[in-house]
């Protein structure tokens, strides 16, 4: 499964109770686990799955917004959106690099995405028919991503945690950029406000689904929490997102598409929090399993990019091999 190089750090064959207890003690002491450290095979596999899915999501996430780079309403909007799309490409590269330290190749991760073994966030399987969608994505999708990702800066695996520090700084800017678009539309002409409300109606529930299933339905959650890969449960993060977003929607003068949404002063140990309606998990799983409006288009775009870039990868490898041979020849000559 793993490429050669760092696989020597895998201690799956020696996962005695004593080893597992010692590893957990390191986690409990808040020590960072580094790529060459002994680690349980389950810890390694969980990270490869999670970081790989995160990396795929950043790369696929370029597609719905890239659709609007040439159609943004002003030059300032075009340049800002282009910069954001470039940031997302960079995030994907950071994360692929972090996953590679665990012994899996980028080639393998990409092939697993293309043949359906690996997933990306279901949120990117929804279309972006209007400019307001770009604002809603920045505000809601990036806002939900920030809720998920800030705790990852304290993930127990060092390379993932360090990559997330820069990712979160840039995602915070993306969220503000999206909200500023929504402010402009919501405070503009009636047609613009209507467009903003329509985008909010379409993106609210998919954004709520971004945090994943309820924790009672997630068999991996408890172990990830124990290993401190995750710091909060899916439901805790979803609640934080709702509590942060409702006041923002009120400022915009827009209505969240949830008739059950209401303030509950007794929730959150008496501090108060929002109640919200049930999530359509049937839709979530349908999209995850390939039934979303844009699933086929997203994978087709990634496959085309992967196939079109094959000559670049081959050229880079040939160049690296040539440089290595030249260096070897120079070393022999120097001796």
The yes-or-no verdict on residue 7 having pLDDT over 70 is: no
Looking at every residue in the chain, the average pLDDT score rounds to 92
Rounded distance between C-alpha atoms, residue 152 and residue 229, angstroms: 7
pLDDT top residue among 321 and 10: 321
- The whole-number average pLDDT for the span 297-314 is 95
Give the end-to-end CA distance of the chain in Å, rounded to a whole number.
40
Beta bridge partners of 262: 275
Query: Tokens for 303?
Result: 């496959």
pTM reported for the whole predicted model = 0.89
Percent of the chain with pLDDT over 70: 95
| Helices and strands in the chain, H and E counts | 14, 2
- The whole-number average pLDDT for the span 263-272 is 92
Closest CA to 123 of 110, 138, 112, 113: 138
Q: Which residues, other chains included, contact 1 with Cβ-Cβ below 8 Å and sequence gap of 6+?
A: 104
Q: What is the pLDDT of residue 219?
A: 67
Nearest-10 Cα torsion for 52, 56, 58, 62: 170
Q: What is the pLDDT of residue 14?
A: 79
């Amino acid at each position: 499964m793993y490429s050669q190089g760092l696989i020597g750090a895998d201690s799956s064959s020696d996962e005695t109770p004593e080893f597992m207890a010692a590893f957990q003690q390191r986690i409990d002491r808040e020590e960072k686990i580094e790529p060459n450290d002994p680690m349980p095979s389950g810890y390694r596999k969980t990270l490869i799955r999670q970081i790989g899915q995160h990396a795929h999501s950043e790369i696929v996430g370029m597609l719905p917004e890239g659709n609007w780079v040439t159609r943004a309403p002003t030059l300032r909007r075009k340049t800002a959106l282009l910069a954001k799309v470039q940031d997302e490409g960079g995030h994907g590269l950071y994360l692929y690099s972090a996953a590679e330290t665990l012994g899996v190749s980028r080639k393998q991760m990409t092939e697993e995405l293309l043949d359906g073994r690996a997933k990306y966030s279901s949120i990117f399987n929804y279309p972006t028919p209007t400019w307001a969608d770009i604002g809603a994505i920045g505000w809601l999708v990036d806002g939900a991503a920030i809720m998920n990702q800030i705790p990852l800066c304290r993930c127990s695996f060092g390379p993932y945690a360090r990559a997330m520090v820069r990712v979160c700084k840039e995602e915070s800017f993306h969220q503000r950029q999206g909200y500023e678009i929504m402010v402009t539309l919501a405070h503009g002409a009636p047609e613009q406000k209507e467009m903003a409300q329509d985008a909010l109606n379409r993106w609210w529930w998919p954004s709520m689904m971004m945090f994943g299933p309820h924790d009672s339905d997630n068999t991996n959650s408890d172990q990830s929490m124990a290993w401190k890969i995750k710091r909060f449960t899916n439901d805790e993060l979803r609640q934080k997102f709702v509590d942060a977003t409702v006041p923002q929607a009120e400022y915009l003068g827009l209505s969240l598409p949830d008739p059950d949404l209401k303030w509950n002063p007794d929730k959150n140990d008496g501090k108060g929090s929002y109640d919200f309606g049930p999530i359509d998990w049937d839709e979530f799983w349908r999209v995850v399993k390939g039934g979303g409006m844009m699933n086929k288009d997203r994978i087709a775009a990634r496959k085309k990019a992967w196939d079109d870039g094959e000559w670049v990868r081959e050229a880079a490898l040939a160049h690296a091999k040539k440089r290595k041979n030249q260096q070897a020849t120079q070393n022999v000559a120097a001796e």
